[in-house]
Amino acid sequence: MIKENLSVVRQTIPAEVRLIAVSKTKPVSDIEEAYNAGQRVFGENKALEMRDKYAVLPKDIEWHFIGHLQTNKIKYIAPFVSLIHSIDSLNVLQAVDKEAAKNGRIIDCLLQFHIAKEETKFGLALNEAEDILTSDEYKSLTHIRICGVMGMATNTDDEALVRNEFRELRNIFNTLKDKHFAGSTFFKEISMGMSEDYPIAVKEGATMVRVGSKIFGKRIYAEVND
């Protein structure tokens, strides 16, 4: 089914939008099935799970970290992670920079914004992001690169609300681009949209969508944020 699901999802996403197949909690065999169907970009939300999957899977996979990142676990993913979608503090960014330096890498990151009505979702407000970007601490970092923004909309059937939240994220992107990344070619990503709302996200300007259950089926295990 994974192959068929992938094909359906791909057909509804324009070619220039990247599809991140969110494989969290799913076994390696499921990822292999998606890989054999041509998928090369996968998203995980736990550092150790991602490290263990990286170890046994083909090395041309791009691994994207999409979960809340604990500073003491960055070391497990720093050697290979392609993009961290979920930077929500200067502290985490500094810790990523440190681990990236140890590995002789520059790690691409997105700033995660809180756009949903739910209290539980992580993320920055615009003013908090600007405080980070104008700080001396941020300016001294040499092994990270901020490539754009990420956000999760409210989990609701209210399409107008979801659309407004995605618009808000795009406005945040535009503001940051103008004020802090003008002339930068790498600040270009808007990561938004999941299984239930990615078509809206694409219409509102997503450059990346993160789709899990629509590809791999419902997740069975309870999710914890680590």
Ligand X SMILES: *Cc1c(COP(=O)(O)O)cnc(C)c1O
Separation of alpha carbons 203 and 167, rounded Å = 10
Q: Site map for ligand X, 121-150, x if CB under 6 A?
A: ------------------------------
Provide the β-strand partners of residue 211: 21
Using rule CB under 6 A, residue 9 touches ligand X: no
Q: What's the gap between Cα 142 and its chain centre?
A: 21
- C-alpha torsion sign, points 84, 89, 92, 97: positive
Using rule CB under 6 A, residue 22 touches ligand X: yes
Provide the β-strand partners of residue 36: none
Exposure b/e, 130-154, CB count within 10 A at least 16 = b: eebbeeeebeebebbebbbbbbbbe
Using rule CB under 6 A, residue 21 touches ligand X: no
User: Considering the complex, what minimum distance in angstroms separates the CB of residue 90 from ligand X?
Assistant: 21
Q: Site map for ligand X, 74-113, x if CB under 6 A?
A: ----------------------------------------
User: Nearer Cβ to ligand X, position 76 or 141?
Assistant: 76
Separation of alpha carbons 75 and 48, rounded Å = 10
Residue for token pair 């945040």: 172
Q: Site map for ligand X, 23-62, x if CB under 6 A?
A: -x--------------------x-----------------
Q: Which of residues 203-222 bind ligand X (CB under 6 A)?
A: 210-214
Among 34, 78, 194, 201, binds ligand X (CB under 6 A): 194
Among 152, 153, 169, 206, binds ligand X (CB under 6 A): 152
Residue 108: C-alpha distances to residues 63, 71, 75, 158, 159 (Å): 12, 16, 15, 33, 31
- Which chain residues interact with ligand X by CB under 6 A? 22, 24, 45, 66-67, 152, 194-196, 210-214
